[in-house]
Chain A
Amino acid sequence: MPVLSELKAGELAVVRSVDGADEVSLRLLDLGMLPGTGVRVVRRAPLGDPVVYELRGYQLCLRGSEARRIQVEREDVAE
């Protein structure tokens, strides 16, 4: 299953799970990265990292190190 950090700008995905049970994973869940949540990759920073994601009505930047923990399923781009 792909992880969130592999996705390209413009791609849509649905969160399947967040790896681990430490503080990082707990916080990612509390930030709304819950199974079933739809995520859109908005854009990469000019230097390639971090990346802006849109989910649950807001925009969240994550570094690759955190986004790698989020297992996702790609969705077809509707537009």
Chain B
Amino acid sequence: MSELAASDTALRLGLVGSPNAGKTTLFNALTGLRAKVGNYPGVTVERREGEIDLAGRRAVVIDLPGTYSLKPISADEAVVERALRGEIDGLPAPDALVVVADACSLERSLLLVGQVLRLEKPTCLVVTMVDELKSRGGELDVARLSQALGIPVIPVIGHRGLGLDSLRQTLGEIENWSRPPVVPPADAIDRGAWAASVLGTAFRERPGRSRTTDAIDRVVLHPVAGTVLFALVMVTFFQLIFAWAEPAMNAIDAGIAVSTNAVRSTLPPGFLADFLADGLLAGVGSVVIFLPQIVLLFALLYLLEDVGYMARAAFVIDRVMGRIGLEGRCFVSLLSSYACAVPGIMATRTIPSPTNRLVTILVAPLMTCSARLPVYALLIGTFVPAENVWGPLGLQGLVLLGLYLAGAISALVVAAILKRTVVTPENLPFYLELPSYRIPTLRLWVSQVARSAWAFLRRAGTIILAAAIVLWVLLSFPRAEGVSGLAAVEHSVAGRIGHAVEPVIAPLGFDWKIGVGLIASLAAREVIVSTLAQIYAAGDEGDSLRDAIRKDIDPRTGKPVYTPATVASLLVFFVFALQCISTLAIMRRETNSWRWPAFAFGYLWVLAYGSSFAAHRIVGALWPV
């Protein structure tokens, strides 16, 4: 049977529920790992569907985005309502709806249930976390709840798989589902009264406060202890991506080097060997190198999310982020971007507000990522005198600190500006649920981390690999026989582009060689170092490259190429310019269009050009050569 014919006959079940209701756990429990992930057209909302077999009858479970209300207040939220009504092209409306609600917050969730029932589709209610309800002293009469609502109600404990058989059985007999005798009221206040009367009959005992959550929060949200804990968690995030991923990244580098050598020693020198070693293997390496950071970041991120800490961290830092128009959840992404913008941008998935998420994605490249460090180290180490300014504080360290601060401050300023201009201003309230602490399940955790890593490889990795190969072609073709170093690079397409753009970059103090370096650095910022080394036919390591650039003389002026003005200009350029195809690829994946990566690329290059020009003039006036 063809895929299309199958989905025509399959029953479509829409899974509706608020965040933290246990919807994802239930979806995974029902569909296993066979979910298909995509995007809804036009918005950045993730779309997940999975097939299940209901006693011989095939069904598709559609995991709709978590929502507190069916009355949308933004384009992204409208997706749920439009999907439920079948108003999205190519997506028929679900045949039946499954509302997922946490037993402890049923008093709130019934407001959403009421909205869903107004759609007048076959509906059933799954009440999750009934074990937690019991531990909080609550007692729910499921039969009476079902009677009061007029629909089937199935209690489950999703993470232990209890109640799933009964749910599957119910899903298999939609024809027999009872319908509510009257539709709940449209007005929110009247619906509140309806919910109160339903709960009055259904709860034998209301749940009390969660003692465990209260006790943990007394420490975790304590003004002093909570702040210290927040700082510790954030330092751990930073360490994880910055330092602890390094052994794995070095191992990948070494693995690629071994494979490159193997290719070089087995194949005769020539085009094929060059392509496999410097083009393909280096390209694969530039994709795989991100995996340790991504896996580690998401392992910690999802662990803290599943436990319930991420919402608390957002609560602690919200005031600071609110000042620039963002929210607490943006902090982790921006911090992660200090190590690398790719995992940082992927981490924005946990930001509920679409506009805040977009702004965070757009400014993430401004945070000083670790790929800039080799470039800063080369330039500062070569040209900034190693003298102490004040006590043990050295000039070199101060310059480096200044570059880091310039990145962070400009990210915050740009975020504040974007929030008021480019991104459609929305009158959206800020709200954040603090879920009860929960013990995460290994299965859900592993599947979340694996899904993120796989999504990166499949959707961003392919673009990164292709771009790396294109750059290799630009730097090695047309091939010049018998020459190497400067002459070979000058002969290549990249060398010609470098010469062609020289008039444009000359006001910044850059010559064609730096131009080629900037083109090559599109693969990854630190590549400019090895490209310059190749151009100057100098070793990558040691002082030979430093000597070479220090002694390089502009043949036309007879003065050094690297004047203080040019060095300052180049450093400033690296603070701002988005020279990273991997970042563009991940932006494309996370925003589901080329529009935002194009915008980020454009505004950051304009910012880089303008700032470098200013730096070149100012430093040139202060330290004339």
Q: Tell me the A residues contacting B by CB distance below 8 Å.
A: 22-24, 26-32, 34-37, 42-43, 45-50, 52, 54-63, 65-66
Chain A positions within 8 Å of B106 at CB level: 57
Asked whether any CB of chain A lies closer than 8 Å to the CB of B433, the reply is yes
Given contacts A45-B319, A46-B316, A49-B318, contact A23 B107 (CB under 8 A): no
Task: Determine whether the beta carbon of B433 is less than 8 Å from that of A30.
Answer: no
Report how far A24 CA is from B431 CA in the complex, Å. 10
Whether B319 contacts A49 by the Cβ 8 Å rule is yes
Interchain residue pairs with CB less than 8 A apart (14): A24-B428, A30-B68, A31-B431, A42-B217, A45-B221, A45-B319, A46-B221, A46-B223, A46-B224, A59-B433, A60-B431, A61-B318, A61-B431, A66-B429
Q: Which of A31, A37, A61 contacts B68, CB < 8 Å?
A: A31
Interface pair A31/B108, CB less than 8 Å apart:
yes
Cα A52 to Cα B221 in complex, Å, equals: 10
Interface 1/0 per residue, B285-325 and A, CB below 8 Å: 00000000000000000000000000100011011101000
Q: A37–B429 contact, CB under 8 A?
A: no
- Does B265 sit at the interface, judged by CB under 8 A? no
B222: chain A residues within 8 A (beta carbon): 46
A-B contact count (CB 8 A): 118
Q: Check B226 for interface membership: any CB of A closer than 8 A.
A: yes
Tell whether, in the assembled complex, residue A61 and residue B108 are in contact, meaning their CB atoms are under 8 Å apart: no
* A41–B317 alpha-carbon span in the complex (Å): 19
Mostly, the A contact residues are mixed
A30 surroundings in chain B (CB, below 8 A): 68-69, 71, 111-112, 188
Task: Give chain B residues whose Cβ lies under 8 Å from the Cβ of A23.
Answer: 73, 426-429
Q: How many residues of B contact A (CB 8 A)?
A: 43
CB of A63 within 8 A of CB of B322, answer yes
What is the minimal beta-carbon distance from A52 to any residue of chain B, in angstroms? 6
8 nearest A-B pairs in the assembled complex, by CB-CB distance? A30-B69, A34-B192, A58-B105, A56-B107, A23-B73, A47-B319, A56-B108, A29-B188
| Across-interface contacts of A54 in B (CB, < 8 A) | 209
Question: Does B448 lie at the interface of the complex (its beta carbon under 8 Å from any beta carbon of A)?
Answer: no
Contact A35 B431 (CB under 8 A): no
- Which residue from chain A places its CB closest to the CB of B203 in the assembled complex? A57
Q: Is B390 an interface residue (CB 8 A)?
A: no
The winner among A26, A27, A47, A59 for most chain B CB atoms within 10 A is: A59
Collect the chain B residues with CB atoms within 8 Å of residue A29's CB. 188-189
The B105-160 residues at the A interface (CB cut-off 8 A) are 105-108, 111-112
The docked-state distance in angstroms from the alpha carbon of A56 to that of B113 is: 14
B432 beta carbon closer than 8 Å to chain A: yes
B162 at interface by CB-CB < 8 Å: no
Shortest Cβ distance from residue A62 to the other chain B in the assembled complex, whole angstroms: 6
Distance between A1 CB and nearest chain B CB, rounded to angstroms: 17
Assess whether B623 is interfacial by the CB under 8 Å rule. no
For the complex, what is the distance from the CA of A36 to the CA of B189, rounded to whole Å?
Answer: 10
| Given A27-B71, A29-B189, A31-B108, 7 other A-B residues pairs in contact with their CB atoms under 8 A | A29-B188, A32-B107, A32-B192, A46-B221, A46-B227, A52-B315, A55-B108
Which residues in window 416-435 of B have CB below 8 A to A?
A: 426-435
Per-position binary interface string of chain B over residues 53-72, scored 1 when its CB falls under 8 Å from any chain A CB and 0 otherwise: 00000000000000011010
- Rounded to whole Å, the gap between the CB of A17 and the closest CB of chain B is 9
Q: Note all chain B residues with C-beta closer than 8 A to A26.
A: 69, 71, 73, 188
Which of A29, A32, A48, A49 has most chain B Cβ within 10 Å?
Answer: A32
Distance between Cα atoms of A24 and B227 in the complex (Å): 30
- From residue A48, how far is it (CB to closest CB) to chain B in Å? 7
